[in-house]
Structures are given as C-alpha cells and as structure tokens.
Chain A
Amino acid sequence: MTATASFKPDVIVIGGGLHGCSAALHLSMRGIRVLVLEKDHVARHASGVNAGGVRQLGRHVAEVPLTVASMALWHGIRDLVDDDCGFESHGQIKVAESEAELATSHDRVAELNALGFTHEEVIGQDELRALVPAIADHCVGALVSRGDGAAIPFRTTFAFRRKAIALGARFQEGGAVTRLSRQGGLWTVETADGARFEAPVVVNAAGAWADRIAAQVGEPVPLEVIAPMLMITARVAPFIKPVVGATGRTLSFKQFPNGTVLIGGGLLGRAVRDENRTELDFSQVSVNARTVWDLFPCMRGATIVRSWAGIEARMPDQIPVIGPSGTEPDLYHSFGFSAHGFQLGPIVGRITADLITGGSTDLPIAPFSIGRFAA
C-alpha cells in the first residue's frame, strides 16, 4: 500500500475522497499506474461523513446527464467495486407543502422532459401518503425520482479504494501536498512530510483544499469552504423507506435499516479547514429540527444522539469543476461538488479516466470547465 521508490506512477491523484478513489479505480481498470496522495486518511472529510444520498432528484440541469449515467453505475455498484456499499434504492422524494410548491415541481418535470429526461415525476397527495405514510397532513404532493436511494459513504469510498488497490493503485496517506511543479513533461508533487513524487499526469481531487492546488498552477478559483451539518437519532421503529427532502426548505431525511434517522440537508456550521475541524451552529441545527417537527409529527419525541459537519468545497454557481486545467497540460480537476458530489462519484472518476486515456469523454462536461472562473 505504501508508495515505494521503485513504483513509477503514470498518474498522481491528489485527494483520497470518493472522487480521488473513483478516478484511481477507473484508471487502474485501464492498466494505468496510479498513486493517490491523501493528506489525512481516505474518506476523512466530506466523502466519509456526508448523508449518503444517491440522488438524481432536483439536480442542476447541467448535472443531469452525469447524474443519470452515474445512477446506472450505482445500480451495478457491486460489479464495479465488489461491495454493495450499503446502497439501497427506495427513491428520493421532495415534498411540496403548498399548491405553489407543487406547481414548481410540475415546471421542473416539464423542463427535464423537454431535455429528454424522465426520471423525475410529480405525485399527488394519495401516492405521497402511500410512499411516506408518516408525512404531515398539510403536504399536497411531491416530486419523486424512483431510482434514487442512499448508500453508506465511508464504506463506499473504502470500497473504491480497496478495488483500486486490488488493481494495482497505491495510496500514500498522511502528507498534504505542499508543492506542485512541472518540468520536462513531468509533474513533481511534494508533500508536507518531505516526500517527492513524480508522474506525467496529475488529478486534482483535493475537495475543500483543491483551490490551493489550482492556485499552484496559476488558476485561482472562488472556492468556498463550507461545513454542512447532519444529525442522527436513536433507533425508532422502521417507518420510512425513501429519502425525503422538501421543496421550500432545506432537508434531507432518511432512516437507516438499523432504525436510526439521519437528518440534514445542507444547513451550515463553520469550517476551520486548516485544523480539520468544524463547529456546529445550533441555531441552524434547530431550524433543521423544526422542519422535521413540521413534516414528520411522529419524530417529535425522537432523541438526537449526535450531530456533526463535514468539510466541503462549494463553487459560486453550485456546480463542480471537472475537466482539464486551463493553464497546464496533463492536469485534470475534479472538485467543488458543492455538497452534492457523492452520487456523482462513480461517473466522474470514469470521465476523468476518459479524459486522461482518450482525450475526451462522451458526457457533456463543458459547463464544469475551470475556465468559467478565468479572469
């Protein structure tokens, strides 16, 4: 597992989150020698502690082709990584609390249908009740994506790592990249523990730290470091299968098979990225709790046993940076997933591998170009 002097990688991936591990896996599947450099340990940040939503529902239209392609990989995830990643598909639902909200759901479906996508549908109150018997009476309907679901984030990222290693990838954990330079067609990557690595190609999948890598090659990006918060309850009797969100409020709500309920959706605490630390903002956690109080009356007596936040990168337009560097050859970016990158993990790794091995990809990634931030 440890990189040794004799190992000469073709590609160095910076960042051992899901996106770095997925790129490593897809490259390894094609016989490319990959070295992943992770400053802490694999899945330490957003990839290990996110809500685990595997969601096509409600995505930015630019992401829709990617999310649909990724979903196909999720439904065969065991074939890809030899582990089911705890993936279960019981759909994702975004409830409408008023007729006005339901109208926006209809508009959304019309917009997607016009683009040729049919994975989102509007359902009325009766079907909502059937799918989510515990939902509050005032909810009038919902937007649903039936093929969606959820997986266990840490287990998923670990499975990608394991499979990549089985195919020959190496992982070096515990040293942050401090310097990136290119000379004579070869990248040199230096880490805080004094190690130096060389490879012809580099992938920047450094998550909330990716702007620092980009800055090294003269392409600064307006990356914001955020800390989305989550909380989890003690076990309650199983009462809900789909993952539920809300149209007019911030919410992600799902019950694990063991009975615990995960509540999140993206309300923010404070991230202290240089200390690998997050601080919770209980006034915001309270807003989240209030939403659950309103939408799931049966949850009012549930006990919250733990809350936390992960460190993530958010771009100003809420969509990621995917694709080649605008300033340097043989450097590819994959970061800034803006708190919804988990579902895209399987496909973006493949896209990155496509770009490196073939120079192009069959999915539309132009909207994600880092060039959109160039001065």
Chain B
Amino acid sequence: MSAPNPKFDFDFDIAVVGSGPAGLAAAALAASKGASVVLLDEQAEPGGQIYRAVTETPVRDRKVLGPDYWHGAELLGPLRDSGAVHWPGTIVWSVARPREDAADGQRPIQIGLSRNGSAAMLTVRHVILATGALERPFPIPGWTLPGVLGAGAAQVLLKTSGLVPSGATVMAGSGPLLWLLAWQYLQAGARIDAILDTTPKENWRAALPLLPGFLRSPYLGKGMKLMLDVRRKLTVIGNVTALRAEGAIGDEGALKSVVYTRNGTEHRLPADTLLLHHGVVPNLNLANATGCAQRWDEQQRCWRPTTDEWGATSVEGVSLAGDGAGIGGARAAEEAGRLAALDALHRLGRIGREQRDQSAAPVRAALDRALTGRAFLDTLYTPAEAFRAPADDTIVCRCEEITAGAVREAVRLGCSGPNQAKSFLRCGMGPCQGRLCGPTVTEVIAAERGVSPAEVGYYRLRPPVKPITLAELAALPKTDADIDAVFKH
C-alpha cells in the first residue's frame, strides 16, 4: 500500500482494468515510471481475449494460432519487470468518482471488485479502463439454440482448450475475425462445411474510395493471404441476405440445420454447429456505468465513449484505452494503452507535459500505422440492416426473451429510446446488462422511428456491471483491516 494521504489512503496510484494488449501495455509503462499500479483482470492469466491463454494454451503448434497471437507473449515480460501488481481472477463491478469533494480537494476513484469470493472497495487516483471489445450481437431466428455460438466464443475455446467443433460446422457472417478463425481451424485440421458470407454487395461501392488507405495497412498482406487460403480450401457462399437456425424440433432442440437466402432463393445446410460473427463493438458497460459520456460512431455503427487524444473520458481521472474506446485492433490497443499511461503519469505529476508529449510521439506514430485502413474495413464489413435490426419474431434480448416485434410495439406505444424500452419491456435488464441486446435494441428503435441511433441513445447502465452475490455485497468490508484481509488473502 502506498503512503497515506492526509485524507484518503490510496491503495494505488493507478488501476488498470483488463489485461488485453491495452491494459498490459498501460500497466507496464505506468509502473516502469514509478507509479504504483494494479492490473485487475477477470481471467486467471493475462492476455485478454485476443491473447487469451497466451501463457498456457495447449495449442503448442505456433502456426495454428499464428504469429499475431504469439505477439501477446512479448507484452508479458515488460509487465513482470515493471513492478505492476497483477491481480488475476478479479471482477471489477463498479468504478465511481464520488462527486462530493473531500476537504483537501482530493477526489479518489473507488473501484468495487470481487476477489477470492469477497467484495471490497479499492481506492485509487486514476483508472485506465481497458475493457476491450464484444462481438456485435447477431440476432437471427434460432440464434438461441444449443449449437449456435459466436465465432469469438469458439475462438476462446480453441485458445484455452484446443477445442474445435465436431460434426457439421457452418460459419456465417462477415469481418476479419470470421476469416481468421476459419484459417485457424484449417491449421488445426477442423471440419468446416461452409462459410456463409453476409457482407452486403453494396458495401463494396462505399468502401472502394477508402481502398487506397487500406493498401498501406499492415493488415493487408496478412489478411489477403489468409482469405485466399480459406477461399482455396473451403466452400465460401457469398451474398447471403438472410439466415436462420433450425432446431431438431422446429425452433427447439439442438441445432439441426442452417437456412440461408442467396439471390432470393432459400437453401438448407445440415449443421451441428453454427458460428456467427459480424464484427465487434466496444465493451463500454463499465465506462457507461461510470458515467463517461459516449457518442454514436456512424462508421463503426456502435456507441463509443467520448475520449480525447490520450483516452481521457468526460469523468476526471478515468481514461480508456483499446477497443473499449472504439475498435482499432490489438496493435492499436497496445499503443493506446501507452498513451493513456503517459497521460495518467502526467496528471499524477510524475512526468511533465513535455516529457509526456515527447514520449508519446513515437507511440502516436505507431498508433497511426496500426489504424491505417481501418475505415475501409469498417465500411466494407458494416452488417446489413436485416441483421442489425431483425424481423419481428426474432429474439433480441435473450435474458428476458424479448423479440424485435415487442420492441417495435413499445416504440408505437411511445417508447422513444432503449431506456424507456428497458423500463417498459425489461429488455436489457437481465444479467448481461444489454451486452447481447443493446446494439440491436438501439438499431431497432432507430429504424422504427426513422431517426439515427445517435438520437435514440443507449442504455444507462448501472453497477454492479458484473453480477456479484448477495453474500459478497452483504459482507462488503467496512474497516481498513477488513479491506486488507480481502486484498492480502
């Protein structure tokens, strides 16, 4: 614990939430400059989703997951050497900056967390949220059937356990991750019956003017090779405009087949596993619940917290780094983590403005390189409206089983945004707090009202951002000794 402050005992100067590329780089840099840093992460091992299980994956053949994955291991040495404290297995369920000013003007940030089955409040001066991305919800009829899962979730199983699907496997959707996973499965010798590409034809026209930027992208060569590999070896069916998953007994039972529409004609493929993916969106739940302002990003078709060029949010002392602030990919996240760390060090008085700006120059250049061509990918892979705002009978909120039709009906009754729909229908009120329905509900309401999602807004989320047990909450330690017992356990 750091030196006591006249008013508060700050446990750490800086807390970093999430140990993906942004969090790893931020924590390592901040701690290496002498700040006391704690890295809080849910997983048992560092790496986030992109480098999930990089220290312990059973997939030892390095060509299966590819060199981009193994780059994650290079971030671990600097973290170890930096002196940052790493608390794996820690769930952060609240970040708040109480408004009331302390007598000495210090306003600590309080972090509610759960660790080893106990909850506690941690007090820090600055927090960097590196909460990464989530798969964009892909609501199609039957997406709740056993056997249908997100490509990202499937990739986690591959990284952590070396698991690949068995039986007939269909992948559907669009975007780089879909192609990457297909390629990784190919390297691992897994069976893939078909890839149903839902990239809308018309997106090419919009994306083409952005192609020159993409031609300079570091992803271009790798991406093209990977896609060509996959196209050579697998059946890829393009221009898919509708999808539905069918169970063994109609809309129940395990997945039995995938029905897709191409050029106006329906086709049916037998399938035991359907992997869906159409891009990722910022995981903004913690930032949103902290009160950080956010804005609608038309190009990425998602809400993203508003940040300055250092990742600072509208809430003083709270910054964001990586995909949680807008999708840029792993390399961009890493650089953004470093920028957020430099700015935090400056705000805490550990480095001067000049030193911050000097150190940031090469980082910013690397960030710009990593983001080159992003606009092209965003535009090309914008999902079709039919998949963003599905037909009436499709479930959008899985927790409360609310259909798109129910949301549209609520709009007709006078609900003008996701928060009214939530209060009216309870959509987004379940354990996932809108992670699986928020983007869809926004799109459905906006389309029904004929306005931009920017106008309809997004859920106001509330802590606990991750579920905690009543027992943990009831036993929330009140005294310093109680708190030490949780942290030192």
Contacts and interface: CB of A to CB of B under 8 A. Distances in A.
Interface residues of A, number: 40
Interface stretch (A72-80, A138-146, A283-291): A283-291
Interface in B399-455: 400, 413-414, 416-417, 420, 423-424, 426, 429-431, 433
Contacts of A304: 464, 467-470, 473
A7 to B, nearest CB: 18
A368 interface: no
A49 B110 CA distance: 25
Contact of A233 (B414, B470, B474): B470
A301 interface: yes
A308 B464 CA distance: 9
B463 A280 contact: yes
B94 A282 contact: yes
B470 A307 contact: no
B100 interface: yes
B157 to A, nearest CB: 24
B467 to A, nearest CB: 4
Contact of A301 (B424, B464, B469, B475): B469
A292 B475 CA distance: 12
Contact of B112 (A1, A48, A258, A282): A282
A136 interface: no
Contact of A307 (B416, B417, B462, B469): B462
B478 interface: yes
B468 A41 contact: no
Interface string A273-302: 000010110110110011011000001111
A234 interface: yes
B224 interface: no
Interface in A324-353: none
Given A48-B423, A158-B413, A289-B473, A234 B467 contact: yes
A244 interface: no
Most chain A beta carbons < 10 A, residue from B98, B291, B416, B464: B464
B98 A279 contact: yes
B121 interface: yes
Nearest to A303: B467
B481 interface: no
Q: Report the interface size class on chain B.
A: 35 or more
Interface string B127-151: 0000000000000000000000000
Given A154-B424, A234-B431, A292-B474, A303 B121 contact: no
Contacts of B112: 282
A251 interface: no
Contacts of B462: 280, 306-308
B99 interface: yes
Interface string A232-269: 11100000000000000000000000101000000000
Contact of A270 (B99, B413, B468, B471): B99
Interface in B360-387: none
Nearest to B430: A305
Contacts of A285: 473, 476
Contacts of A35: none
B99 A154 contact: no
Nearest to A154: B423
Contacts of B121: 282
Interface string B457-488: 00000111001111101111010000000000
Given A270-B99, A280-B463, A303 B431 contact: yes
A43 interface: yes
A127 to B, nearest CB: 27
B431 A282 contact: no
A119 interface: no
B463 A307 contact: yes
B22 interface: no
Nearest to B112: A282
Contact of B470 (A41, A272, A293, A308): A293
A106 interface: no
Main secondary structure of the interface of B (DSSP, over half): loop
B75 interface: no
Nearest to A300: B471
Contact of A232 (B414, B423, B429, B478): B429
Interface string A305-319: 111100000000000
A280 B289 CA distance: 11
Contacts of A43: 420, 423
A182 interface: no
Contacts of A292: 470, 474
A277 B423 CA distance: 17
B96 interface: yes
A221 B102 CA distance: 29
A299 B98 contact: no
Contacts of A286: 473-476, 478
Contacts of B473: 282, 285-286, 289, 304
B407 to A, nearest CB: 15
Contacts of B420: 41, 43, 154
A55 interface: no
B467 A300 contact: no
Most chain A beta carbons < 10 A, residue from B121, B424, B471: B471
Contacts of A42: 414
B476 A283 contact: yes
A161 interface: yes
Contacts of B464: 304-307
A331 to B, nearest CB: 28
A158 B424 contact: yes
A90 interface: no
A8 interface: no
Contacts of A212: none
Nearest to B468: A304
A155 interface: yes
Contacts of A129: none
Contacts of B417: 41
Most chain A beta carbons < 10 A, residue from B400, B475, B476, B478: B476
A279 B99 contact: yes
B369 to A, nearest CB: 39
A289 B474 contact: yes
Given A154-B424, A162-B413, A282-B121, A303 B469 contact: yes
B9 to A, nearest CB: 16
Given A282-B112, A305-B433, A290 B423 contact: no
Contacts of A41: 416-417, 420
B99 A283 contact: no
Given A41-B416, A41-B420, A277-B291, A301 B463 contact: no
Nearest to A302: B470
A41 B110 CA distance: 31
24 contacts: A42-B414, A43-B423, A48-B423, A49-B423, A158-B424, A162-B413, A233-B470, A234-B431, A258-B400, A258-B426, A260-B429, A280-B94, A282-B110, A285-B473, A286-B473, A293-B474, A300-B470, A302-B469, A303-B469, A305-B431, A305-B467, A306-B464, A307-B462, A307-B463
Interface of B: 94, 96, 98-100, 110, 112, 121, 291, 400, 413-414, 416-417, 420, 423-424, 426, 429-431, 433, 462-464, 467-471, 473-476, 478
Given A282-B110, A304-B467, 4 more contacts: A153-B423, A158-B424, A289-B470, A293-B474
Interface of A: 1, 41-43, 48-49, 153-155, 158, 161-162, 232-234, 258, 260, 270, 272, 277, 279-280, 282-283, 285-286, 289-290, 292-293, 299-308
